[in-house]
Structure 1
Amino acid sequence: MNLHLDNKIIIVTGGAKGIGLGICKVLASEGAIPVIIGRKESDNQIAIKEIEAAGGIAKSVVAELTKPEDCENAIKQIVTEFGRIDGLVNNAGVNDGVGLESGNYDAFIDSLHKNLVHYYLMAHHALSELKKSKGSIVNIGSKTADTGQGSTSAYAASNGGRNALTREWAVELLKYGIRVNAVIVAECYTPLYETWIKTFANPEEKLIQITDKIPFENRMTTAEEIANMVVFLLSEKSSHTTGQLIHVDGGYTHLDRSL
């Protein structure tokens, strides 16, 4: 499918690894120019080389998104280099296990900055350019906002906030022709997920316990499957879709897992 994204400048936070990299790869395959925002130049360049090896184009900006000034400066750099912004994917974050019992005030606030505050700041600073392009925003969220998980209060709260901001921005930005949607992830196998699985005594057995509860095909969602939905939502092919929380999760969140 031609999504008509040729040469579109799409920001992807956390685009050097995992789901973010998957999004950048699909964007590049559709002719867009993903701009990776990540904290490590080395990671960004590895991702760019991987995208270029497949025939695509990608760029990057180094920024620590927990720092408000870095969020603003990243947008300024992109506008200076490209002169426009056609889309924003808020993706960066980490399930950092700041729980009710295990956490404290400082850890909770730090987690909100890692997982939620920069979603607002990136959209806020990119907004003037998105108004010009009538671009789209896609927020990546997690099932934890719907299901809970245990021992991850800050991450769950952040994802509830991402969902609320998606709906709020969809309303606020109607008058500018800017669409805002969210893609909600449940169990997606990424390098970070693999690292977590390996913390268990029997990681293969633990993985089977998880996939057995995923109704559709009893398997993990791939980063590419998440990316395909994100890129569709960024394109004009989804021209009348806004304010939606779309779960790409094999039915994990809403279907009866006894299936």
Structure 2
Amino acid sequence: MNLNLSNKVILISGGAKGIGGAISKGLIAEGAIPVMIDPSEKEGAEILALGEAFQIPVRLFDAADSENVVKITLEKYGRIDGLVNNAGANDSVGLEKGSPEEFEKSVAKNLNHYYHLAHYALPSLKKSKGSIVNISSKTAVTGQGGTSGYTAAKGAQLSLTREWAVELLPYEITVNAVIPAEVYTPLYENWINTFEDPKAKLESITAKIPLGKRMTKPEEIAAMAIFLLSDQARHITGQHLYVDGGYTHLDRSL
């Protein structure tokens, strides 16, 4: 299957490690040019060694950061063909253990840059009839407990996916969301290690994943995101696509 991604320029927030890193590597393999928006320079250097790619080592705090990222990308490549909104962190700001100020900061850091990047990249995406892929989380639809800020942001990402899909129909820009559940990334490992017995906790989670009793691989999330960026997905928009081994919807007693 020809994805026709050769020389396509794709912005990826958090593109140097975890799910974002897997997307960057997969895009290089397809001949695309990932632009990694990520301050993790060590991990970024490893990806840059694989082929044509570019790293902008910043963390997206406000709208000006996203505006500058788009400006730098256009100065270097002159085009943007796709955007993967991915960066964020489950920061455990809950209803009981948290304050209104912490909640607002959590929502802002996990959500605002999704809008900012899409807003500033939009003129270029109109020209290329490009694609937007929002990486969300199963916590947006299942809940998790103790993480109100993160799940509020993730739910908003799913809502914006449908909203943008409608708004951008006249420009033939596709907008979709990928929803992971249990993916063993560096951030996930940090969370697992907060438990008294990390090995037992991990085993209790994988035992509840219906398909294969295993974690989803970052590369499996990347494969879906890359497909949605490609010409093969030109008639898919406004969709929430679960890549989770059946974790969200199938009976976990299976």
Task: Sort the TM-score into its range (normalised by shorter chain).
Answer: over 0.9
Using structure 2 for the length normalisation, give the TM-score.
0.97
What does residue range 183-194 of structure 1 map to in structure 2 within 5 Å? 183-194=178-189
Q: How does 1:60-139 map to 2 (within 5 A)?
A: 60-139=55-134
What's the CA shift for 1:52? 4.1
Alignment correspondent of 2:43: 47
Could you give the per-residue CA deviations for residues 206-253 of structure 1, whole angstroms, max 9, x where no partner exists? 111000000000000000000000000000011110000000000000
* Kept in 1: contact 2:61–2:113 (CA 8 A): yes
For residues 147-226 of structure 1, what are the structure 2 equivalents within 5 Å? 147-226=142-221
Aligned to 1:17: 17
Question: Deviation at 1:63?
Answer: 2.5
How does the TM-score come out when normalised to structure 1?
0.96
Give, as a single letter, the amino acid of the residue that structure 2 aligns with 1:8. Answer: K
Structure 1 range deviating more: 17-26 or 189-198: 189-198
User: Which string of whole-angstrom CA distances, capped at 9 and with x for unpartnered residues, describes residues 183-211 of structure 1?
Assistant: 00100001111111112121111111000
Instruction: Give CA-to-partner distance per residue, 1:36-56, whole Å, 9 cap, x none.
Output: 002x2xx23x334322444x2
- Aligned-partner residue type, residue 13 of structure 1: S
Q: Partners of 1:109 and 1:134 in 2: how far apart?
A: 34
Note if contact 2:70-2:117 (Cα within 8 Å) is conserved in structure 1.
Answer: yes
Specify the alignment match of 1:6 in structure 2.
6
Contact 1:51–1:57, Cα closer than 8 Å, also in 2 = no
C-alpha contact 1:89 1:139 (8 A) present in aligned 2: yes
Give the aligned partner of residue 27 of structure 2.
27
- What is the Cα-based RMSD across aligned positions, in Å? 1.0
Q: Is the 8 A contact 2:131 2:175 kept in 1?
A: yes
Moved more, 151-160 or 64-73: 64-73
CA offset at residue 62 of structure 1? 2.7
Aligned residues: 254
C-alpha distance in 2, partners of 1:236/1:79? 22
Deviations 1:147-200 (A, max 9, x none): 000000011110110000000000000000100000001000011111111121
Gap change, CA 1:63 and 1:244, over 3 Å in 2? same
Q: Spell out, residue by residue over 1:53-85, the C-alpha distance to the aligned partner (whole angstroms, 9 max, x if none).
A: 44x221011333122211111111111111110
SS of residue paired to 2:219: helix
Asked if structure 2 preserves the Cα contact closer than 8 Å seen for 1:90 and 1:139, the reply is yes
5+ residue gaps, structure 2: none
**Structure 1 counterpart SS, 2:160:** helix
Provide the identity percentage.
60
Question: Once the two structures are superposed, what CA deviation does each residue of 1:108-151 show, in whole Å capped at 9, x if it has no partner?
Answer: 11111211111011100000000000000000000011100000
> 1:215 corresponds to which letter in structure 2?
P
C-alpha contact 1:183 1:230 (8 A) present in aligned 2: yes
Structure 1: give runs of 5+ residues left out of the alignment. none
Partner of 1:245: 240
Measured after TM superposition, the shift of residue 104 of structure 1 is 1.1
For residues 211 and 48 of structure 2, the distance between their equivalents in structure 1, rounded to whole angstroms, comes to: 33
